[in-house]
Structure formats: C-alpha cells, structure tokens
Amino acid sequence: MKTVSLFIFLCFLILVARAQGNKSYEPVDNFVQSLGRLDSFNVATIADTLTSKFPEKINKARAIYYWIANNISIDTKATRSNDNSKSDPVIVIKTRKATSLGFATLVQEMSSMANIRCLVVDGYVKNFAEDINNKADGVNHSWNVIQLGQSPEQWYYVDAAKASGTFDIKYAVFTENFTSNYFFADKTLFNLDHYPDNGAWQLGNGPKNLKDFYALPVILPAAYTLGVQKPQPMNGFIKSKTKNTTTFSFNYNPDITISNISLVMGEGKKQQKPEPVNFSQGNGIISFTWKFKKDDTYPVTIVADGKPILQYYAEIEE
C-alpha cells in the first residue's frame, strides 16, 4: 500500500513539474499587448505599469521581455558600425530603437525596478553562415541573465534583441518578428548560439573557447521551437565533393511532429528552391544523407516544416 501511495505521489510531482515547464505566458502577453506602446511614459513608469499586476517574478520578467521585444526596434545603422553610444535606457525609450546592448541595458534597468536580479552579458553571436570560422574583431552582441533563486540552476537566459526580429545580411533592413524562444531559453542550445566574453556567464555546458564557438553551425530561432539538440555535423563548415555523401542529424522534442525536411542552398538572390530530403526519425532523432550537386561555396540551410533551423557553409568541389 505504501508503495502504491509513493508511486501516485511521484506521478503527481512529475505532472506538476511538466505543468510548470510548459507554463503558458499568454495571460501576461495579452495584458502587455493591451497596454500598447506607452509612448508618454518614462522608463520607471513603464516598468511599474508592466509588472505591478503580477506577484511572481517570472511573470514580471516575461512582461518586461514581451514589451521591449515588441516596442523597441534594432538600430541597424548603429549595429552595423557597432556603435553603442545610445544604449542608455532613457535614450532607448525616447528613440524606440537600439543595438543589442541597448536592449539588454533596458531589460536590466526595468528588471531592477521590479526587484529582479538581472545582469547584462556581452559576447558573441553568429547571425549568418558567412560568420562560421570568421571570428568577430570584438564582442558583437549583448543579452541578459536573470536570477530567480539561490542555486546556480536558477539563472536564466533572456535575449530581447533577438526576440524582436531579424535583419538582412548587410544589416540595412530590420524586420519585426517577435519570438518567445529567447525568454528563459534552453541553455544547451543557447550556448551553441551565444558565447559570453566572461565564461562565468556560460550557464551549463558549451564551447570551450571562441574558436570552437565560431566553428559551430548557425542556430536559427525555430531550432528553439523544435527543441533541437546535438546537431551533426558539429562543424559548421562543410568541405566535400559532389560525389561524396554528407550525413546530417539532430535531436528534437519528440512531442513535436515533423513531417518535412528540406535543404535550401544559397541566400538572397542566389537562394535556390527548397529541396526535399528523405529522412528517418525515431527516438527524437532525425537523420538524413545528402550529395551536393553544385560545386561552389554557399550557405546550406536545414528547414523543418518550412522553418529554418540550422545553417552551414559548404565548400563543394567536383
């Protein structure tokens, strides 16, 4: 009898943990969306308006993230020149645009006002396949870590800049496209996507050094949606011949159904139509092989059900 009771109790704990892990932020998002742009408010008033309704710090943090990512745009000109001179929260609220440092500084400021411990982390990201093995001259991105408890496991990643949208390869055009994927992001995947200048803020396992980080494939936003893990090849630069076969694979959330995988060669005006691939899946792993037909150098994007998830750079010879 005691064994049965213990089993039921453990099942209950598992269900609670799953419910918390799948917690929906829709009520928070809907409330923040109803507030609009809050154009006439200063930083402190916006922070209070966003967070005072919610007693839990996680919901306060979500409200801040959602509002900033939906109301601040990437300053493409400043990002292109790595000019962070206008990153002060007061200036960001006034202009409604910022570099990633401006986003992160505003998140930190509003979180502090809501009594949430939040720090800015400077580091590196790869945005395009051309960045693979092409280390930046200096830090090129900033994000946040938020603490909700006393243990090391209760620090979380937040990247409001990446959540706000995307820009083209010339850093000239910003496209608004909000995503939830960078709020309390999966740490393992985030560490393949971001590399901190200070190793103390790599939460969990990740690349050992900057060279290893830049050798990895580019992680695209939808990879978080699908719970992508362990992409193979781990080397983002593929050097092969048209007669050779390259094997690709990745782990994903088995609760998600993936029905189509395709590859897209090139980008911009040189981007070709998606080419469907025959793939196998089982135990949360998708794998397939591919022979490149064109001898040239070009980006290769893996697309799952129409969503780009991983990007490589290929150098193919006959």
Residues 197 and 267 both lie in one domain: no
- pLDDT in the model for residue 180: 97
Question: For the domain that residue 42 is a member of, what is the CATH number?
Answer: 3.10.620
- Burial class of 277 by CB neighbour count within 10 A (0 to 12, 13 to 18, 19+): middle
Mean pLDDT for the stretch of residues 75-90: 97
Q: Does the CA dihedral 67-71-77-83 come out positive or negative?
A: negative
Residue 20 pLDDT > 70:
no
pTM: 0.91
Residues 145 and 287 both lie in one domain: no
Give CA–CA dist 61/107, Å, rounded: 9
Residues 246 and 184 both lie in one domain: no
Tell whether 47 is covered by a domain: yes
Q: How many domains does the chain have?
A: 2
- pLDDT band of 12, cuts 50, 70, 90: very low
- pLDDT band of 270, cuts 50, 70, 90: confident
Mean pLDDT for the stretch of residues 113-134: 98
Tell whether 50 is covered by a domain: yes
Give CA–CA dist 6/35, Å, rounded: 47
**Residue % of the chain over a pLDDT of 70:** 93
- pLDDT in the model for residue 167: 92
Mean pLDDT for the stretch of residues 289-298: 95
Domain ends where: 216, 245, 268? 216
| Per-residue tokens: 290 | 């591919």
Tell whether 58 is covered by a domain: yes
Domain ends where: 216, 246, 265? 216
- Asked whether the beta carbons of 100 and 86 are under 8 A apart, the reply is no
Least confident of 2-6, 45-49, 88-92: 2-6
Mean pLDDT for the stretch of residues 110-118: 98
Question: For the domain that residue 311 is a member of, what is the CATH number?
Answer: 2.60.40.10
- Asked whether the beta carbons of 260 and 304 are under 8 A apart, the reply is yes
- Asked whether the beta carbons of 164 and 75 are under 8 A apart, the reply is no
Residues 184 and 254 both lie in one domain: no
Residues 44 and 184 both lie in one domain: yes
- pLDDT in the model for residue 286: 98
Residues 202 and 59 both lie in one domain: yes
Tell whether 2 is covered by a domain: no
| Residue 248, domain extent | 229-317
| Per-residue tokens: 187 | 């740490």
Residues 172 and 83 both lie in one domain: yes
Per-residue pLDDT reduced to its tens digit, 208-261? 999 999 999 999 999 999 999 999 999 999 999 999 999 999 999 999 999 999
- pLDDT in the model for residue 6: 39
* More confidently predicted of 162 and 12: 162
Give CA–CA dist 112/100, Å, rounded: 18
- pLDDT in the model for residue 3: 42
Tell whether 306 is covered by a domain: yes
Residue 11 pLDDT > 60:
no
SS (H, E, C) the chain: CHHHHHHHHHHHHHHHHHHHHCCCCHHHHHHHHHHCCCCCCCHHHHHHHHHCCCCCHHHHHHHHHHHHHHHCEECHHHHHHCCCCCCCHHHHHHHCEECHHHHHHHHHHHHHHCCCEEEEEEEEECCCHHHCCCCCCCCCEEEEEEECCCCHHHEEEECHHHHHEEECCCCCCEEECCCCCCECCCHHHHHHHEEECCHHHCCCCCCCCHHHHHHCCEECCHHHHHCCEEEECCCCEEEEECCCCEEEEEECCCCCCCCCEEEEECCHHHCCCCEECCCEEECCEEEEEECCCCCCEEEEEEEECCEEEEEEEEEEEC
Which residues share a beta bridge with 122? 142
- If you average pLDDT over every residue of the chain, what do you get? 93
Give CA–CA dist 96/205, Å, rounded: 35
- pLDDT in the model for residue 269: 83
Residues 211 and 249 both lie in one domain: no
- pLDDT in the model for residue 23: 60
Residues 212 and 233 both lie in one domain: no
Domain ends where: 216, 241, 257? 216
Tell whether 5 is covered by a domain: no
Residue 67 pLDDT > 90:
yes
Mean pLDDT for the stretch of residues 169-192: 96
Q: Residue 298: CA atoms inside 13 Å, Cβ hemisphere, count?
A: 19
- pLDDT band of 113, cuts 50, 70, 90: very high
Tell whether 193 is covered by a domain: yes
